[in-house]
């Protein structure tokens, strides 16, 4: 698990002094060119994640697809630790080379006082089933 603070962008770009990007790169058991549907589930820790607009970027691998899911990482009340929980990022067709990104860039009003966390991620094969939507509880 990793933690940081959410910092404002500088002239519309990530703040070069504070920019962090976490990447989850699953080793999907797929052949070259093969795609399969997966539910992606993110773990939100009981503490260290307070940012209410954490934008996860899902890149689908060999077809260049890109999707977004914005989660509120807070699991408790302000100043009080919450509880560990899992939340769906959604169901996506993924291929080899797929990955999920999360950075600590926020709006220009960010002060560096809000925490953001990177923790466990699960990629669950679901074949042709419907799967879950972004923000669905696990």
| The model's pTM | 0.91
Q: How far is residue 124 from each of residues 93, 102, 117, 127, measured CA to CA in Å?
A: 11, 19, 21, 9
Structure token pair of residue 97: 């080379």
Structure token pair of residue 72: 């509120």
Structure token pair of residue 31: 């052949």
CB 75 within 8 A of CB 85: yes
pLDDT at residue number 78: 62
Check residue 126 and report its DSSP letter: -
The H or E element containing residue 22 is strand 21-24
Residues 6 or more apart whose CB falls under 8 angstroms from that of 132 comprise: 39, 88, 90, 91
pLDDT at residue number 26: 96
CB 41 within 8 A of CB 89: yes
pLDDT at residue number 46: 85
User: For each successive 10 residues of the chain (138 residues), what is the average pLDDT?
Assistant: 90 83 95 94 89 94 87 76 87 95 92 93 94 95
Q: Tokens 């080793």 correspond to what residue?
A: 27
CB 114 within 8 A of CB 5: yes
């Amino acid at each position: 698990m990793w933690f940081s603070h959410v910092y404002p962008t500088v002239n519309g770009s990530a703040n070069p002094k504070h920019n962090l990007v976490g990447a989850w790169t699953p080793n999907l058991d797929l052949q070259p060119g093969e795609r399969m549907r997966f539910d992606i589930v993110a773990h939100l820790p009981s503490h260290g994640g307070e940012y209410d607009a954490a934008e996860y970027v899902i890149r689908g691998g060999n077809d260049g697809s890109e999707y977004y899911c914005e989660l509120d990482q807070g699991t408790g009340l302000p100043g009080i630790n919450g509880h560990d929980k899992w939340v769906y990022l959604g169901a996506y067709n993924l291929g080899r080379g797929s990955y999920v990104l999360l950075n600590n860039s926020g709006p220009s009003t960010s002060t560096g006082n809000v925490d953001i966390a990177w923790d466990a991620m699960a990629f669950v094969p679901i074949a042709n089933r419907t799967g879950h939507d972004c923000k669905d509880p696990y």
